[in-house]
Amino acid sequence: MPKDLKQPIILWFRQDLRLEDNPALVAACQSGRPIVPLYILDETNPGKWGLGGASRWWLHHSLCSLNTALYQRGSQLFLLRGDPLEILPKLVQKYDAAAVYWNRCYEPYAIKRDRKLKSILPFSESFKGSLLFEPWEVLNRDGEFFKVFTPFWRRALEIAAIAPPLERPEQIPTHKVESEPLESWKLLPRHPDWAAAFGSHWHVGESAALSKLKQFLDRGLERYAELRDAPGIDATSSLSPHLHFGEISPRQIFHAVKSLPSSTKFLSELGWREFAHYQLYHFPQLPERPWRAEFADFPWEKNTNFLKKWQQGETGYPIVDAGMRQLWTIGWMHNRVRMITASFLIKDLMIRWQEGEAWFWDTLVDADLASNAASWQWVAGSGFDAAPFFRIFNPVLQGEKFDPEGLYVKQWVPELTDLPKEFIHKPWRATKNFNPLYPSPIVDHQMARLQALAGFKKIKAGS
């Protein structure tokens, strides 16, 4: 690295929109050089995995929050749009920058891009700031990657102690460069403003993430372990969008939780996030192709009418419709209901899991390529350590088990508010107080289940 301490370091923010426990930021500050805090709206991401609509909404507010935090420390966030492979070398040359620092991302296109950038800018450095473990670090005794979660997580926790979080710098000496106004990126929806309810539900940014973690822990992890599957009760952390955008690090969460009673279950969920990124790293085709090759020949149905009814929460199954309406309204869905809605699309409607994956990608504020793909393949039975295909959720029984009083359904499907709880998950059986505006089931679950199992039998016979 050049010795002139006047040469700045470009700090390239990506999925690490925070100041605390930010290894690239800390290293840049320790260099003694001025820093260029930069975010690039990378519009070169190929295919359908560019930022979804809900993610764009979150990103806008997260960048605002990060800029405020930087301003409080005598700095600011600079914004540019385009191809980082073109923008960064030009900035390095124009401002005689000493290096570019960033925290690693693990999507296949990001890995390819970053490797090329390092070949162009050999003084660049990358850091681990988004995962507890690097995907290439956790291997079995034969030096191969794990295909099952439990041994993966056990081995991951054995290989090294997880270092404590880094403190945030109090002052960030800054070198100014050109910048675009955030509003020019048009990340927020306008006409119509389908995200109108997002702002009343979500507080975005690093401070909000830390507050949410504290509130969650104040409720107690015992409550989480007991009630995490009940969608009508506020028992989960809702930290997933903050984690994806890096407003809080997994290391911060791990150390806040690890010594508390009943921490095992919650930490294992953090482990599943690690395992999703691990899968994507070792099988980059995860978002498009089934890990279990036989599922490529599954006899899927192409029914755009059923797909649209599922997307709009008009299937006639209340727990499914409640989940899909919650997703559209606030950009998030309870995890238990994610499994139920995914199972219904794949196994009741026989629609390809990639269709659901794409819809969630566009509508979730926590849309994460690794977690989204791994979760859909888990439900479909085609992924790593997946649920067996013959595990087909009955939407009525799932509703009765996890939402017995109908609290969740009545919140998101107000047409059924007046139904007694014995009919809330099977309203077609009610003789009184049934709202005729609520649709009848679009398929018979028992018949759909038999059709799905027949399709599975067919591919098993051919494998």
d(CA 54, CA 4): 43
Please give the distance of CA 32 from its chain centroid, rounded to a whole number: 35
> Do 97 and 35 touch, CB atoms closer than 8 A?
no
Residue 47 has pLDDT above 80, yes or no: no
Within a domain: 248 = yes
- In percent, how much of the chain has pLDDT > 70? 99
Q: How confident is the model at residue 145 (pLDDT cuts 50, 70, 90)?
A: very high
In this prediction, residues 144-150 reach a mean pLDDT of 98
d(CA 359, CA 373): 12
Q: Which of 185, 226, 314, 335 is catalytic?
A: 335
Q: Three-state SS for 53?
A: helix
> Are 217 and 331 within one domain?
no
Which CATH number does the domain housing residue 307 bear? 1.10.579.10
d(CA 364, CA 245): 13
> Are 259 and 304 within one domain?
no
The 10s digit of each residue's pLDDT in 91-128 is 999 999 999 999 999 999 999 999 999 999 999 999 99
Residue ending a domain, among 282, 313, 342, is 282
Q: Which residues of 367-401 are buried (b: 16+ CB within 10 A; e: fewer)?
A: bbbbbbbbbbbbbbbbbbbbbebeebbbbbebbbe
Residue 195 has pLDDT above 50, yes or no: yes
Residue ending a domain, among 214, 249, 282, is 282
Residue 258 has pLDDT above 50, yes or no: yes
Q: Which of 137, 272, 400, 415 is catalytic?
A: 272
> Are 309 and 437 within one domain?
yes
Q: Which of 319, 322, 317, 324 is nearest to 359 (CA)?
A: 324
> Are 151 and 264 within one domain?
yes
> Are 356 and 424 within one domain?
yes
Judge whether 134 counts as a catalytic residue: no
Q: Which of 12, 359, 376, 378 is catalytic?
A: 376
d(CA 318, CA 161): 45
d(CA 238, CA 405): 22
Residue ending a domain, among 282, 307, 339, is 282
d(CA 275, CA 150): 10
* Tokens (6 digits) for 167: 């403190």
In this prediction, residues 30-44 reach a mean pLDDT of 95
> Are 226 and 150 within one domain?
yes
d(CA 47, CA 411): 36
CA dihedral sign of residues 91, 92, 97, 101: positive
Q: Which of 269, 294, 314, 415 is catalytic?
A: 269
| Tally of CB atoms within 10 A around 13 | 24
Residue 193 has pLDDT above 80, yes or no: yes
> Are 309 and 416 within one domain?
yes
Place of tokens 């995995």: 49
In this prediction, residues 35-52 reach a mean pLDDT of 88
Strands (DSSP E) along 118-260, which ranges?
A: 125-127
Burial zone of 68 (CB within 10 Å; 0-12 exposed, 13-18 middle, 19+ buried): middle
> Are 24 and 123 within one domain?
yes
pLDDT at 463: 60
Place of tokens 């926590």: 366
Strands (DSSP E) along 119-269, which ranges?
A: 125-127
In this prediction, residues 167-195 reach a mean pLDDT of 96
Judge whether 314 counts as a catalytic residue: no
Within a domain: 351 = yes
Rounded mean pLDDT of the chain? 96
pLDDT at 200: 97
Domain that holds residue 420: 293-462
In this prediction, residues 334-356 reach a mean pLDDT of 98
> Are 150 and 204 within one domain?
yes
Which CATH number does the domain housing residue 50 bear? 3.40.50.620
In this prediction, residues 59-85 reach a mean pLDDT of 97
pLDDT at 2: 47
Within a domain: 1 = no
Within a domain: 4 = no
Annotate 351-419 with three-state secondary structure.
CCHHHHHHHHHHHCCCCCHHHHHHHHHHHHCCCCCCCCCCCCCCHHHHHHHHCCCCHHHHHHCHHHCCC
Place of tokens 């649920």: 387
The 10s digit of each residue's pLDDT in 405-418 is 999 999 999 999 99
Q: What do you get for the CA distance between the two ends of the chain, in Å?
A: 55
In this prediction, residues 295-308 reach a mean pLDDT of 97
> Are 156 and 240 within one domain?
yes
Within a domain: 158 = yes
| Tally of CB atoms within 10 A around 299 | 12
Residue 180 has pLDDT above 70, yes or no: yes
> Are 396 and 454 within one domain?
yes
Which CATH number does the domain housing residue 277 bear? 1.25.40.80
d(CA 380, CA 112): 28
Domain count, the chain: 3
Within a domain: 287 = no
Residue 46 has pLDDT above 80, yes or no: no
pLDDT at 3: 56
Angle at 165 between CA 159 and CA 169, to 5 degrees: 145
Using only the alpha carbons of the chain, give its radius of gyration.
23
> Do 182 and 68 touch, CB atoms closer than 8 A?
no
Within a domain: 274 = yes
Torsion, CA 227, CA 230, CA 235, CA 240, rounded to 10: 120
Q: Which of 300, 303, 314, 415 is catalytic?
A: 300
pLDDT at 1: 47
Judge whether 167 counts as a catalytic residue: no
Burial zone of 36 (CB within 10 Å; 0-12 exposed, 13-18 middle, 19+ buried): buried
Judge whether 335 counts as a catalytic residue: yes
Q: Which of 291, 353, 361, 378 is catalytic?
A: 353
The 10s digit of each residue's pLDDT in 387-446 is 999 999 999 999 999 999 999 999 999 999 999 999 999 999 998 877 889 999 999 999
In this prediction, residues 269-291 reach a mean pLDDT of 98
> Are 86 and 229 within one domain?
no
Within a domain: 54 = yes
Q: What predicted TM-score, i.e. pTM, was given to this entire model?
A: 0.97
